[in-house]
Amino acid sequence: SDSLVLATQQGPVLTLTLNRPAALNSFTEGMHQALRAGLDAAAANPEVRCVVLTGAGRGFCAGQDLADPMVAPAAPGEPPKDLALAINTLYKPLVQRLKSMPVPVIAAVNGVAAGAGANLALNCDFVLAGQSASFIQAFAKIGLVPDTGGTWLLPRIVGRARALGLAMLGDKLPAAEAERIGLIWKCVDDAALADECAKLAQRLAAMPAKALAATRAAIDGAQALTLDQALDMEAALQSQLGSAHDYLEGVAAFGAKRAPVFTDR
Ligand code: T3D
């Protein structure tokens, strides 16, 4: 198909596949719009309880398409391009959309994830990667800083020493090494990636979506809080969740020794 992002739904799991394989699914404005539209539709559809992001072909996403006129350096004599335009209108809303999804989001990293493509994956709730996948903070190699949330994410995920090493050197980090240093959730055999991802997605889809989305917001939000503030935030969230259907259902199912049926979103 010629759509820039393919959407396929299997039960409660929606898979969005970045689809510019000839350019390793690097981002154009059109692919940004298509991905955002896919995420918006998933967020609005109560039948979707987990989203999977993956890439068509041999790559996951090579970051910004460097040939795109929006970012390609100006020719001599032309005024310089302001990259903040692409960041503010495309990358920032994408990260915010991911962080506000009402359901868990899994990145199934099937191949190289570079620049904004690496950080796109790291903004998801789970990163599962195939053995042949890799992660590259490519920004410094072209004279930029990590974007798409990289400056915020990297030190929180792997600590300052590794964050600086990855960001300054821009080396290709193989998926197994990414798992070893805690950058991603899991590295699996390439042949097992689709199945492992489907299993995880089905499992998450059966869990209380509202609590999972609140868990993401709480864990990210607590990074900027003192312990006392975090304790207050936890109280406020339990107060909200504790009067919702899923809590009653979870406790009732536990008491009755049966599987819960969660519906809040
Ligand atoms: O404000 C802003 O918008 C700035 C935005 C910043 C966000 C960013 O993401 S900055 C970082 C941008 N990305 C990169 O710097 C990565 C560039 N790509 C690479 O370094 C390599 O392609 C990879 C290491 C990712 C993969 O290498 P390899 O050898 O497996 O593949 P390849 O041969 O380099 O790429 C295959 C094709 O995809 C090739 O096209 P061709 O020659 O077959 O026609 C290549 O040009 C194309 N491609 C790969 N990455 C990009 C790309 N085309 C445009 N933009 C790309 N980023």
CATH number of the domain encompassing residue 233: 1.10.12
Residue nearest to atom 5 of ligand 1 (CA): 64
Strand-pairing partners, residue 15, are: 8, 52
Specify whether 190 is located in the same domain as 217: no
The pLDDT tens digits of the residues spanning 195-253 come to 999 999 999 999 999 999 999 999 999 999 999 999 999 999 999 999 999 999 999 99
Looking at the fold, whether 144 and 217 belong to one and the same domain comes out as no
Ligand 1 pocket residue status of 154, Cβ below 6 Å: no
The per-residue pLDDT for 69 is 86
Average pLDDT over residues 24-45: 98
Measured CA angle at 115 (ends 109, 119), to 5 deg: 55
For the chain, give the percent of residues with pLDDT over 90: 94
Is 264 a domain residue? no
Cβ pair 128, 196 in contact under 8 A = yes
Q: Residue 244's domain spans which residues?
A: 209-256
Residues 81, 171 share a domain: yes
What pLDDT does residue 1 have?
A: 58
What average pLDDT does the segment 83-91 reach? 97
Q: Report the C-alpha gap between 216 and 51 in whole angstroms.
A: 15
pLDDT at 80: 86
pTM value surpassing 0.95: yes
- The answer to the question of residue 262 being in a domain is no
Q: Are residues 143 and 249 in the same domain?
A: no
Q: What total number of domains does the chain contain?
A: 2
From the list 17, 34, 145, 158, the residue with the least C-alpha distance to 97 is 34
Who wins on pLDDT, 59 or 72? 59
Q: What is the mean pLDDT of the chain?
A: 97
User: Do residue 220 and residue 182 come from a single domain?
Assistant: no
Residue 181 lies in a domain: yes
Same domain, 213 and 201: no
Residues 43/102, Cβ–Cβ less than 8 Å: yes
Question: What was the pLDDT predicted at 40?
Answer: 98
- Domain presence at residue 88: yes
Q: Is there a single domain that holds both residue 128 and residue 245? A: no
Q: Are residues 155 and 228 in the same domain?
A: no
Residue 265 lies in a domain: no
Q: What is the mean pLDDT of residues 10-38?
A: 98
- Pair 71, 184 in one domain: yes
pLDDT at 79 over 90: no
Q: Which ranges constitute the DSSP H helices of 72-158? A: 84-86, 92-99, 116-122, 150-158
CA 64 to ligand 1: nearest atom: 9
Tell me, in angstroms, the distance from the centre of ligand 1 to residue 26's CA.
Answer: 7
pLDDT number for residue 12: 98
Tokens 């997605």 correspond to what residue?
201
Is the pLDDT score of 265 beyond 70? yes
Residue 131 and residue 119 share a domain: yes
- C-beta of 113 in contact with ligand 1 (< 6 A): no
Handedness of CA 247, 248, 253, 259 (dihedral sign): negative
Distance 66 CA to ligand 1 centre (A): 7
- The pLDDT-based confidence of 143 (bands split at 50, 70, 90) is very high
Query: Does the pLDDT of residue 94 top 80, yes or no?
Result: yes
Phi/psi at 105 (5° precision): -125, 130
Mean pLDDT of 139-168: 98
What percentage of the chain has pLDDT greater than the value 70? 100
Residue 183 makes CB contacts below 8 A (sequence gap 6+) with 122, 127, 135, 157, 158, 162, 173
| Same domain assignment for residues 182 and 221 | no
In a domain, 178, yes or no: yes
Q: 38 with 139, same domain?
A: yes
